[in-house]
Amino acid sequence: MPSSHDLFVKGILSNLNEAIDFFDGSLPESITKLLQLENLEITKETFIGNDHKESRTDLLYKIPLKSGSFAYIYLLFEHKSYYDPKIFTQLLEYLSKIYNWQFINQDNLTIVIPLVFYHGEKGWDLGENFLDNFPVESTPIEFHRFIPNFAIQLFELKRKGKAFQTRNLALRLYMRMIQIIRDIPEEFKIHLKEIYISLREEKEFAKRIEILRNLLEYLNRVRIDAENYSVKEIVQGIEVEYMNVLDKIRQEGELKGKLENKLETARKMKEFGDTLEKIKIITGLSEDELKENGIF
């Protein structure tokens, strides 16, 4: 199963607005000025095999160029507390798959920018080119022209580094949470409170609920001491409205849990051969709800 870090980042960057603002803030200006970021599309393709999906996730974006062509940005998220020196050879494999996919699905090959999102505790020192990890010095110069090479666009979110700069409040808070998630308890509590204070900048109540829910889900999945950070205790004195937000999230969670229990009951009843009418009476679910969830 993908890790909690993977799920969180993939959820963030599967949102068009967040993805556009992420690339606007993480790619060099020399590249962004050539892209029509506002027309970014997210593809449904994935190029990571089963042997890697526990440690990494990938996303592929198609972005038109102002010249009339377009580029693909392949984002690989590396979340481990250590990095894997094989990442360049694995990227070479993924790039080969993407170009082969292009060859099959379009008229010509187009540029692919491999962007590595690194979130490890150890600083990145693998360089930004395939050749940085190849023993060129011990290889006769006559063979150098046969060595494949490519560059990566590295985005390293350092724990003690600068906060990600963007006008997109949700993206800024999500990135900040990723940054502080490994902090020691005392520091984490201080930084978490700062995030909750910043959330007040979001004036739309529904959006505020969405952001807070995502932050809390990530916190609860990643930190084994998550229960020590009572949100009500941390935000006490900041804003009374947070209590309403938290209550709404709790109520939505309870309703979702009840629905899932009813659906599970319905699935078991169907397996035992019970009729649609009996299942509707026992579970209280409508025929539409049963069909929407694949029971019938």
pLDDT tens-place string over residues 183-211: 999 999 899 989 988 988 888 877 887 88
Question: What are the CA-CA distances from residue 55 to residues 12, 82, 111, 232, 237 (Å)?
Answer: 17, 11, 26, 33, 39
Q: Residues 125-147: what's their mean pLDDT?
A: 92
The boundaries of the domain holding residue 262 are: 242-292
* 113 vs 288, residue with greater confidence: 113
Residue 258: band (very low, low, confident or very high) from pLDDT cuts 50, 70, 90: low
Q: 17 with 84, same domain?
A: yes
Q: What is the mean pLDDT of residues 86-96?
A: 89
Q: Hey, is 293 helix, strand or coil?
A: coil
**Per-residue model confidence (pLDDT) at position 243:** 54
Give yes or no: residues 137 and 61 share one domain: yes
Q: Is there a single domain that holds both residue 203 and residue 65?
A: no
The verdict on 58 and 124 lying in the same domain is yes
Whether 60 and 98 have beta carbons less than 8 Å apart is answered as: yes
**Do 47 and 8 share a structural domain?**
yes
Give the DSSP letter of residue 84. -
Largest CA distance in the chain: 79
* 87 and 228 co-located in one domain: no
Instruction: Please tell me whether the overall predicted TM-score, pTM, comes out greater than 0.95 for this model.
Output: no
Q: What is the mean pLDDT of residues 77-94?
A: 77
Alpha helix (H) residue ranges in 27-86: 29-32
- 144 and 177 fall within a common domain: no
**Number of domains comprising the chain:** 3
For the chain, percent of residues with pLDDT exceeding 70 = 84
Closest CA to 265 of 247, 242, 289, 249: 289
> 171: phi > 0 → left, psi -120 to 50 → alpha, else beta; which?
alpha
